[in-house]
């Protein structure tokens, strides 16, 4: 195995394109665990640590926040310039595993795995985030919703890497709630729900509800969000549960997930309503 230490994103993309067996490494929290268990055997590791600025978080003039791919979970969790709506991502970052893992793991490394039960993907859907991707001679942006395209699968091509994650400012007067059910604190979620709502006056006029761990990818249901805006919480929950396609794994059965999902949705939405001052 070779180790490369490129100093620019273009150089990294070139190295990635030149070697089919090469893998990018940022924090190592997922990739090295997979190497240790023999799931992957990269021919080369391309460290992203030496690329200036890739770990930075910046706020644009339009209020959107751009999180560099190699920003650690700890850095994202501690970032103070998120808007209330954007903060769904910061809250989720703080729920990932334990402090030593948050010292190592990065947002880019997390999203490229495409684990529907991971904390970032669900939060990124609720935040309507965009994933910025680069290849050797290309760059493109794709919505988080389209990026996660299957179980442990993403729209990232083999010779592409994630440059950053862009989170729009979102509405004013927003409230963000991330509700995660796990066997023990710090474990991967059995399921999770990310909610961003905003109200003007007495009425809620904006909601984004994302569900993770209940299907091959995290998902939203726009019809359910419309029902919620209409004040029909029960119908919203029903539509979201109907869209679930949970599987059974070591953390919980599909049946358990179907039973718990409506309750977690109700709890998350009710909490958000109370925080937002809506009865």
Partner 1 sequence: MNNTLTYDLKINGEIETVTAPAQETLLTVLRERLHLTGAKRGCDQGVCGTCTVLINGEPMRGCLTIAALCEGAEITTIEGLATPEALDVVQQSFVDTGGIQCGFCSSGMILTVSSILKNNPKASETEIREGISGNICRCTGYEKIIDAAVLAAQQINGAGR
Chain contacts with partner 1 (rule: CB under 8 A) = 1-3, 5, 25, 27-29, 32-33, 35-37, 42, 45, 47, 49, 97-101, 103-104, 185-186
**Closest distance between partner 1 and the C-beta of residue 268, in Å?**
22
Which of these, 205, 209, 202, 203, lies nearest to 176 by C-alpha position? 209
Nearer to partner 1 (CB atom), residue 100 or residue 231: 100
Contact 92/122 with Cβ under 8 angstroms? yes
Handedness of CA 122, 30, 18, 15 (dihedral sign): positive
Place of tokens 């920003």: 71
Q: How many helices (H) and strands (E) does the chain have?
A: 11, 13
Which of these, 87, 78, 94, 262, lies nearest to 185 by C-alpha position? 94
Nearer to partner 1 (CB atom), residue 62 or residue 80: 80
Contact 122/96 with Cβ under 8 angstroms? no
Euclidean distance between CA atoms 268 and 195, whole angstroms: 7
Place of tokens 């709502």: 197
**Closest distance between partner 1 and the C-beta of residue 228, in Å?**
33
Phi-psi region of 249 (alpha: psi -120 to 50; beta: other; left: phi over 0): beta
**Closest distance between partner 1 and the C-beta of residue 253, in Å?**
22
**Closest distance between partner 1 and the C-beta of residue 230, in Å?**
40
Nearer to partner 1 (CB atom), residue 41 or residue 146: 41
**Closest distance between partner 1 and the C-beta of residue 38, in Å?**
11
Nearer to partner 1 (CB atom), residue 28 or residue 276: 28
Nearer to partner 1 (CB atom), residue 26 or residue 133: 26
Tell me 255's DSSP state.
Answer: H
Contacts (Cβ under 8 Å, ≥6 apart) of 173: 84, 198, 199, 200, 276
Nearer to partner 1 (CB atom), residue 93 or residue 104: 104
**Closest distance between partner 1 and the C-beta of residue 255, in Å?**
26
């Amino acid at each position: 195995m070779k180790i490369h230490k490129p100093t620019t994103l273009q150089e990294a993309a070139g190295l990635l394109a030149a070697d089919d067996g090469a893998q990018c490494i940022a924090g190592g929290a997922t990739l090295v665990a997979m190497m240790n268990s023999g799931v992957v055997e990269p021919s080369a590791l391309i460290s992203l640590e030496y690329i200036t600025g890739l770990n930075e978080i910046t706020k644009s003039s339009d209020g959107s926040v751009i999180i560099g791919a190699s920003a650690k979970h700890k850095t994202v969790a501690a970032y103070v310039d998120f808007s209330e709506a954007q903060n769904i991502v910061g809250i989720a970052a703080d729920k990932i595993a334990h402090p030593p893992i948050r010292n190592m793991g990065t947002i880019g490394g997390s999203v490229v795995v495409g684990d529907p039960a991971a904390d970032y993907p669900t939060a990124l859907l609720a935040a309507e985030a965009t994933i910025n991707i680069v290849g050797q001679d290309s760059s493109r942006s794709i919505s988080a919703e389209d990026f996660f395209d299957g179980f442990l699968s993403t729209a990232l091509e083999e010779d592409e890497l994630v440059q950053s994650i862009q989170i729009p400012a979102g509405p004013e007067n927003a409230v963000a709630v991330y509700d995660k059910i796990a066997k023990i604190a710090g474990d991967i979620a059995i399921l999770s729900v990310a909610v961003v709502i905003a109200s003007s006056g007495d009425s809620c006029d904006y909601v984004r509800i994302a569900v993770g761990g209940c299907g091959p990818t995290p998902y939203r249901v726009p019809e359910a969000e419309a029902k919620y805006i209409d004040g029909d919480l029960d119908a919203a929950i029903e539509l979201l549960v109907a869209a679930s396609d949970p599987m059974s794994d070591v953390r919980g059965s599909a049946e358990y997930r179907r039973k718990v999902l409506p309750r977690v949705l109700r709890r998350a939405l009710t909490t958000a309503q109370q925080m937002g001052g809506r009865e």
